[in-house]
Amino acid sequence: MKTRSITAIFIAAVYVGTVLLSIYVNKIFFDIFVLMVAVGAGIELCRALDKRFSPPLDIFVFLHIFLGYLAFFFISKYLDEGLGIAGFFGVFALLTAICFICCAASKKRTKNNAISTVLAMIYPVTVLSYMLGLNYLPAVFRVDAILLVFIVSCLTDTFAYFVGSLLKGPKLCPNISPKKTISGAVGGLLGGVGGAMLVYMFARFGWLKTGLFGSGTISNVVHFIMLGLLGSVFNQIGDLVASYLKRKCGIKDYGTFMPGHGGVLDRIDGMMFNAVVIYIYLSFLII
């Protein structure tokens, strides 16, 4: 428990540092955080798939991160910030085609290697591109979106853990994650909404350069409740997806990088799904 607590403090410090540096210094710090997470999570998933399935071709996963970000950055900076994610999808399509061609022409690799590689390029790399997308939303949305992805995810996980441990009760998905309970899931929803309301207070009183409240675009509490609720739901779906893949790969954790918490992917599995729904929700508001 002591080790887990120390690691949790370290994780919290990284999150807070990333947010503050991104808000007050330069948004490139958020990009760096996401790219480092993508590399770590990508390596962990490749290693996990290697245990039960045909080994992915790591080089394509790394190329997807590197070339995808270059395309994302170029499009966001010189063409349209709202289309940056399209760069990642374009690179994904190109690398997928090359990967299948290389495996078809190889005597050592098969289409199963290509399938494993494509899975690793989709999850987590392409999913994480939506977290990058939050950093390139219009200024009036950007800070609130970043705060929402961190705070909603953290409070969802925290409330789910403590409420589930305290109340226990029926299991949520015993075949996928035996420890998760329905009471924990409800607690997670409450934590997610509470986290969104905390961001609402930041926006309402103008703290930390947040801007949604004063913009007139999202000036009432209903949007924040929806963002907290949807973010929490997708955060928990992300946890279940990660648990499902771990069971298929026959592993307990994706890594040991963070003692007591597993690997990088174990920590951001829900957060990156939360980022997807926040990005899509705010994109509709922009339109």
Q: List, for residues 202-230, the tens digit of each pLDDT value.
A: 877 776 666 665 544 455 788 899 999 99
* Across 70-74, average pLDDT: 95
Q: List, for residues 137-170, the tens digit of each pLDDT value.
A: 988 889 999 999 999 999 999 999 999 999 989 9
Cα separation, 279 vs 118, in Å, equals 23
241 and 170, same domain (yes or no): yes
**What's residue 216's pLDDT?**
44
Asked if 75 contacts 84 with a C-beta cutoff of 8 angstroms, the reply is: yes
How many separate domains does the chain show?
2
Q: Is residue 44 part of a domain?
A: yes
Q: Is the pTM here over 0.85, yes or no?
A: yes
Beta bridge partners of 177: 173
Domain boundary among 115, 134, 153: 134
Asked if 213 contacts 16 with a C-beta cutoff of 8 angstroms, the reply is: no
Mean pLDDT lowest among 67-76, 111-120, 204-213, 222-231: 204-213
* Across 75-99, average pLDDT: 92
Domain boundary among 109, 134, 159: 134
Whether the upstream peptide bond of residue 124 has omega within 30° of 0, thus cis, is yes
Q: Is residue 32 part of a domain?
A: yes
270 and 170, same domain (yes or no): yes
148 and 119, same domain (yes or no): no
Q: Is residue 118 part of a domain?
A: yes
Residue 49, domain extent: 28-134
